[in-house]
Structure 1
Amino acid sequence: MNAAPVLLAYSVAVGAGAPHLLLRSAWPHRAPALGATVWLALILSFTVAVTLAAAQLAAPTGHLHAGLVGLLHACGLDAPEPTASGPTISGRLAVAMPLAVVAAFGGAFLFHLARSGLLRARHRDRLDKVGTRCERLRATVLPHAVPGAYCLPGFRPRIVVSDAAVRLLTAEQMEAVLEHERCHVAGRHHLPLAATEAFATVFPWLPLARLARTQMAVLLEMTADDRALRRQSDETLATAVYEMAAARTPEGAIGAGGSTALLRMKRILGPRPAPHPALRGSLASAALTAPLLPLLVACPPGI
């Protein structure tokens, strides 16, 4: 049986249907780290499904039997015995088409990582000239009239605050802001952001790509807020976010203010009931198994 139609239908469900269902759900804002993980799982599941569908379209008579073993066979990685005629055209396509999908996504991911890394390196050089290192804050203080804070993740991470923020914010507010930025650095949040940007580059017309890119940024900000709230009160963080809402974040950096400030303030000051443990466990399990579902769709057990 050719699994391409089933895989394409699954891709449509994951790429167009699942994102809208997830967007209408309330639980991602109550568990933002888990929500970000689910978005990444959908991206990976869609990519695997499209890769397998490409292999099946190139070799319609092939069969992705026994899950991963079948995938290796379809990609020609199981070292089959050589034949006198050599690989067929369909065999070459069965390898080339899925590899093209993987290479496009992987290349876009590396491109966005390299581009943002270069922007951050240039910004660090400018900070070395105009900024002042503050050991008390463990951050670089930058002369600027607008209160703001951001971090430069990756290699040689750095947290930056404006001198206006230092003057305006209380000690508790500043600590909440710094803890927020430390979460971005420690969690390597630039990596999932680069992954969603890469996915949107390869599939710009796909609802999953468009929504994942915007939702990932929001959920990672909420994840950093939750870490800051472990040490500071809701009011302290909310007022700090309010003071820095007008601040602009340099390209390649991750900032504490910006366009998500109002949504985050409402969340911080409102009720934030945690998802039921059963729901959390089910969602975590779904996120772990979603990338493998296309294999089961392509080759159900017993076939």
Structure 2
Amino acid sequence: MIAAAALLMYAIVASTWGATMLSSWSWPVRSPAWGIWAWQALATSAAAALVLAGVVVTLPETPLGGLVASVLRSCSDALAQHYATPGGMPVAILVGLASAAVVARFGLLVGREARHSAGLRRTQRDTLALVGTDRPEGFTLVDHATPLVYCLPGRAGKVVVTSAACDLLTERQLDLVLAHERRHLLAHHHAALTLSGALSRTFGGFGVFGIAHQQISALAEMQADDAVRPAPDRIDLARALLSLVPTGLVSGSPSGRAAERVRRLTERADRPRRPVGLIASTAGLAVLAAPLALALVPAVEAAARDCCPTAYSHLPGTTDPSVGPLDTGGGLGEDVVQQRP
């Protein structure tokens, strides 16, 4: 029960204090790629803690307990004692079903979103084959009155530009916007957004899950903006963004978020310091490992025991638990107490 309580407390802290602290830091904006990693790690860790809390409650009441005991070469009775939960089997079944439902819902949402997105991309490719024109600059031109530039991810990813956007942007601005979209394709931002969106919907957008999806969406745009480094080019990209946002969208970014991007583009671009990546990667791995560590601590403690707390009432001819180990002349009682299945 202690392990389950610790996991629940960890999930609450990660969903509240952890999300607040990460939102207050400025380094994710300076290094968006590591910021995306940090938010993914934090949200995944909180979700894993909630699921594992259900797993450790059901552990003593299911064959999984024997499997864990066998892997750790520990005593199954000691393992059951460490993970004992008030309520017994009924509580274990309810909590186990809840954890299974969370995992199933997440998997269903990811699969549904993947199929839906694949269907939309397939439809768009078929449409572009009929109405689009492949340009030597590396994009597909579509005759449309709305100024729009977007990328179509997938194995054959491509960038789509409407004729209105070509008329609105200068040649240099168009090159910069194309670089932005190609960075989206190269970084596979659609996959990160699919996973964070499914995790957010799994938990109803509560706490860190909803915040992480919003932050990852914003940071993905900033990482794509960083495909442009020279200050004059970043100012040109900001102008292109301002030209496109009032009447259309750039990579699905609403105008409110575009204002933050424009401010970032027009400020001096600070290159992230090298330790940021090292610290972020190490901290992210630690955060991801924390729920599993909390879940396994009682099991490791049980494995470290030198003896197995076998109940004496299970011995033949013994009905009183207060009676000590039976002496049958062959040391049966001692053998049973020291036995480790």
- Pick the TM interval, shorter chain: 0.7 to 0.9
How many angstroms does 1:30 deviate by? 0.6
Q: 1:231/1:94 Cα in 2 relative to 1: closer, same or farther (>3 Å)?
A: same
Q: Is 2:282 the partner of 1:285?
A: yes
SS of the residue corresponding to residue 223 of structure 1 reads helix
How many angstroms does 1:42 deviate by? 1.1
Letter in 1 for 2:213: R
How many angstroms does 1:56 deviate by? 2.1
Counterpart for residue 265 of structure 2: 268
Counterpart for residue 321 of structure 2: none
TM-score normalised by the chain length of structure 1: 0.82
Q: Is 2:299 the partner of 1:298?
A: no
Q: Is 2:129 the partner of 1:128?
A: yes
Q: 1:77/1:200 Cα in 2 relative to 1: closer, same or farther (>3 Å)?
A: farther
Question: 1:45, 1:121 → 2: CA distance?
Answer: 34
How many angstroms does 1:298 deviate by? 2.8
Q: CA RMSD in A?
A: 3.2
Question: What CA deviation, in whole Å up to 9, does each residue of 1:124-172 have, x standing for no partner?
Answer: 22222322221x2211111222322001112432210111221232222
Q: Is 2:184 the partner of 1:184?
A: yes
Question: 1:224, 1:133 → 2: CA distance?
Answer: 23
How many angstroms does 1:94 deviate by? 7.8
SS of the residue corresponding to residue 5 of structure 1 reads helix
Question: What CA deviation, in whole Å up to 9, does each residue of 1:51-73 have, x standing for no partner?
Answer: 210112334689x9xxxxx8972
SS of the residue corresponding to residue 210 of structure 1 reads helix
Question: 1:231, 1:271 → 2: CA distance?
Answer: 7
Counterpart for residue 56 of structure 1: 56
Counterpart for residue 108 of structure 2: 107
Counterpart for residue 68 of structure 2: 73
SS of the residue corresponding to residue 188 of structure 2 reads coil
Please give the residue correspondences for 1:36-55 in structure 2 after superposition, counting only pairs within 5 Å: 36-55=36-55
Assess if the C-alpha contact under 8 Å between 1:245 and 1:259 holds in 2.
no
Question: 1:77, 1:110 → 2: CA distance?
Answer: 32
Assess if the C-alpha contact under 8 Å between 1:141 and 1:160 holds in 2.
yes
Structure 2 unaligned residues grouped into runs of 5+: 75-87, 302-341
Question: What CA deviation, in whole Å up to 9, does each residue of 1:198-222 have, x standing for no partner?
Answer: 0111101412121112111110000
How many angstroms does 1:259 deviate by? 4.2
After alignment, is 7-16 or 125-134 more displaced? 125-134
After alignment, is 91-100 or 109-118 more displaced? 91-100
How many angstroms does 1:95 deviate by? 6.4
Letter in 2 for 1:236: D
Question: 1:71, 1:213 → 2: CA distance?
Answer: 38
Higher Cα radius of gyration:
2
Please give the residue correspondences for 1:217-296 in structure 2 after superposition, counting only pairs within 5 Å: 217-229=217-229, 233-249=233-249, 254-255=251-252, 258-296=255-293
Question: 1:72, 1:130 → 2: CA distance?
Answer: 59
Counterpart for residue 67 of structure 1: none
Counterpart for residue 201 of structure 2: 201
Question: 2:38, 2:56 → 1: CA distance?
Answer: 27
Question: What CA deviation, in whole Å up to 9, does each residue of 1:238-259 have, x standing for no partner?
Answer: 111111113545xxx9447754
After alignment, is 97-106 or 7-16 more displaced? 97-106
**How many pairs are equivalent?**
284
Question: What CA deviation, in whole Å up to 9, does each residue of 1:251-287 have, x standing for no partner?
Answer: xx94477542211110011133344433442122111
Q: Percent identity?
A: 32
Counterpart for residue 139 of structure 2: 139
SS of the residue corresponding to residue 141 of structure 1 reads strand
SS of the residue corresponding to residue 147 of structure 1 reads coil
Q: 1:208/1:256 Cα in 2 relative to 1: closer, same or farther (>3 Å)?
A: closer
Assess if the C-alpha contact under 8 Å between 1:148 and 1:257 holds in 2.
no
SS of the residue corresponding to residue 140 of structure 1 reads strand
How many angstroms does 1:77 deviate by? 9.1
Question: 2:223, 2:117 → 1: CA distance?
Answer: 21
Letter in 2 for 1:287: G
Letter in 1 for 2:158: R
> Going by fraction, where is helix more abundant, 1 or 2?
2
